[in-house]
Amino acid sequence: MVELLPVATALPPHCIEADEAKHQVDAYFGPSAARRYRQMVDGSRVRKRYTVAPVPDLLNLRTLQERNEMYAEHTRNLGETVARRALSAVATAPDLVTAVLSVSCTGYMMPSLDAHLVGRLGLPATVRRIPLTELGCSAGVSAVGLAADLLAGPSAGHVLLVSVEVSSPSIQVAEPSMTDMIANLLFGDGAVGVVLTNPTTGAGPLVVASQSVLLPDSLDHLGMRMTDAGFRIVLSNRLPRLIQQSLRPTLERFLNDQGASRT
């Protein structure tokens, strides 16, 4: 069996709370739009988010290059920080890591984050590197499933999984759409790291099974598009209904295949 060891997290130093978000809305938009966006701040129920730079610096970003350079710098730093915490939390030496999975979809880097972590952490030069991109909100759990697959079998090993999302450089304030504002208000910056191991130690839950399901006719409902002003979210108003209709039967089929049930 494959074990998921305790999870580590890392946050950037800057924090924007709901009241400051409403203040910034008032400063950038006319009374009518500001009133609507203030209501969205309250409706989001997000009380605070962490960002890699102060709000004025984010609002001054103009070009795609500026935005992506900020993303890359802080993705490397947050990734290294959370990876060190994950390895330290379970007393795993870097030279014992057999594979490293890096997860991110809010910017572009090549070489990918996992390559940078090799030298920064002292991982073996032969460590298997697998970057996962463009999986959005499901990327972390997909990476756990893949890590478990890599560890399945008789060979012992440790997989380091590092997920970093730096959304704030893509903030949109120039004629933002409603979905742009939803993204501005919901998504902050942060990182998570975890080690998966085989054989087990008894320190964490076992990964018993995993599965990925692509819902029919869902490709246009949620995603990101690259523009001259950075990433902009694609969010269909049909998405909640699609999930409501599909989630329960999808979950029940998966559990049935494992001989389990929701109860």
Active site positions, annotated = 137
CB 92 within 8 A of CB 195: yes
CB 232 within 8 A of CB 180: yes
CB 4 within 8 A of CB 206: yes
Which one-letter DSSP state was computed for residue 175? S
Q: How do 128-132 and 157-166 pair as beta strands?
A: unpaired
CB 83 within 8 A of CB 193: yes
User: By three-state DSSP, how is residue 100 classified?
Assistant: strand
State the Cα–Cα distance between residues 106 and 168, nearest whole angstrom. Answer: 9
Residues in the chain, overall count: 263
Q: Is the dihedral of CA 64, 67, 69, 72 positive or negative?
A: negative
Type and span of the H or E element at 74: helix 64-89
Nearest to 172 by CA among 91, 250, 233: 233
